[in-house]
Amino acid sequence: MADTKRETERKFEFTPGDKKRAKRTRHEVPDLTGTAAIAAVSDEGTVGLDAVYYDTPDLRLAADGLTLRRRTGGKDEGWHLKLPVSPDVRDEVTAPLGDTLPRPLAALIRSRVRDAGLEPQVRLVSSRRVSHLLDAEGALLAELSIDAVRAERGEAAASWTEVEVELADGVDPALLDAVEKTFRKAGLRVSDAPSKLARALAETGAAPPARPTGDAAADGTAGAHVLAYLREQRDTLIAQDPAVRRSLPDSVHQMRVATRRLRSAFKTYRKVLDRDVTDPVGEELRWLAAELGVDRDQEVLLERIQTRLGELPRTQLLGPVRGRLRVWNNGRRSDSRRRALAVLDSKRYLALLDSLDAVLDEPPLLKGAADPAPAVLPQAVLRDYDRLAGRVEDALALTAGEERDLALHEARKAAKRARYAAEAAAPALGKPAKRLAKAMKQVQTLLGDHQDSVVAREALHGLAVQAAGAGESAFTWGVLYAREEVQAARSEQELPDLWADASDPALRAALA
């Protein structure tokens, strides 16, 4: 069993070169009484902490800002996994103390560790003096810790004093700014290291290698630009893995989008990357997106039906409609949730991640990759636009009905690919690509709403059948079905005018 707590904290250290530093001890930090809402400081005593940090041999966790430790001592001894959220904010997932890494924590790092294995990397032994920062009513605002730290890594060792302020739940983060202001006057500054582990690795000569970033596109070639984009999407996919396992809001959607962006980029930039290499990876990405879609599509569908129910007057809510919807969703969602987790635990998924890494580590660049990005990317974007234009025109030529619904769905997928292509090219092509991407997104959104209506009608028909079979009124489900028909027709009526704007030749001409 694992528990999660969100930490909002800031670390400080004494300013290097401060003449007063030599005279200070770890106890000599300024009194924070009177800083912002702090009315009192309560000394909670000193505790000894002993933590061993684990990582892969190539320090994959540290490279991504994660820390995994087994710590004894203190009120929260056990296994701790810290996941970065934003500056000053991390999620700490904890599990009881044991000799082996608990399965819930192992699952959260599987997308990064894979088959590399974990090894002890650093041992940190700390003497921590703790104080509570209280408001005028005695409520806890934050915990102040002054740590005398000794890091040991093989024969290498390092020591330092660190000051940490961690906010209590619900406290305004502005308190950290006020504390920082007081500390700066006393010769303390915000620590350069994001964590104790990062500092320990740096001071013992084992800092993790820097990961390539979007700056790799700085040389201006099409190949460098595309690879930078692919790395960004690969990193997003991996980062969303633990979020999906923790059922965080929108995580499945974000992970699915990353898989689609990767697959689209492989197809769009076929003049840059050899498709003999990328097509098999793209097929695996398609598989992953489809598997994740089972859970995501159910989430979207439930939200749509709930919204439509909320729009109905009470006189049209006949029978136990909300209870029926809840039972229907629970049965479908529990299965989809298990399926998504099974996919993330599968060897096939881990092999896909390895394949993505291989493409990025040894990219199958074609001749066009060496050309300037502005000479290559517009052609790729316009090819995807032409593909979309053909599908929209085909759909508009059909009469309303199932065949047209299918054609509009195909056009929606083409609009998404054209949008992704323009967004991927935007760092190199600037505002023209952004404007085209915005236009493509509008088309995608309209067609997406139409497709959602098609799917919702199928679900509403099933709910009506279930309700009737249970002796309940099916009236409400019929009302919602009719409303979805109206919504779909409205989308089809709006498409010609929207497409006329999105297909303005000036949008495409600006790319050249």
Same domain flag for 233 and 363:
yes
Beta bridge partners of 161: 148
For residue 218, the model assigns a pLDDT of 60
For residue 21, the model assigns a pLDDT of 47
For residue 394, the model assigns a pLDDT of 96
What's the structural domain count of the chain? Answer: 3
Within-domain flag for 366: yes
Helical axes 373-396 vs 431-469, angle rounded to 10°: 40
Q: What are phi and psi of 159, to 5 degrees?
A: -135, 145
Same domain flag for 7 and 155:
yes
For residue 17, the model assigns a pLDDT of 58
Same domain flag for 136 and 113:
yes
The Cα 191–Cα 199 span in angstroms is 9
Same domain flag for 354 and 398:
no
| pLDDT tens by residue, 446-505 | 999 999 999 999 999 999 999 999 999 999 999 999 999 999 999 999 999 999 999 999
Nearest to 479 by CA among 465, 462, 460, 466: 460
For residue 134, the model assigns a pLDDT of 97
| pLDDT tens by residue, 181-191 | 999 999 999 99
For residue 211, the model assigns a pLDDT of 64
Handedness of CA 430, 432, 435, 441 (dihedral sign): negative
Same domain flag for 37 and 96:
yes
Number of residues in the chain: 512
Residue-number span of the structural domain to which 140 is assigned: 3-203
Of 371, 395, 413, at which residue does a domain stop?
371
Same domain flag for 189 and 56:
yes
Within-domain flag for 118: yes
Question: Cβ distance 244 to 344 under 8 Å?
Answer: yes
Q: For residue 221, give the 3-state DSSP assignment.
A: strand
How would you class 224 by CB atoms within 10 Å of its CB: exposed for 0-12, middle for 13-18, buried for 19 or more? buried
Same domain flag for 381 and 355:
no
Same domain flag for 96 and 23:
yes
Same domain flag for 364 and 376:
no
Q: What DSSP letter does each residue of 53-100 carry, written as one string?
A: EEE-TT-HHHHTT-EEEEEESSTT-EEEEEEEEETTEEEEEEE---SS
For residue 214, the model assigns a pLDDT of 47
Positions of the chain with pLDDT under 50:
19, 21-27, 214-216
Of 203, 234, 259, at which residue does a domain stop?
203
For residue 2, the model assigns a pLDDT of 75
Of 335, 355, 371, at which residue does a domain stop?
371
Cα Rg of the chain, angstroms:
28
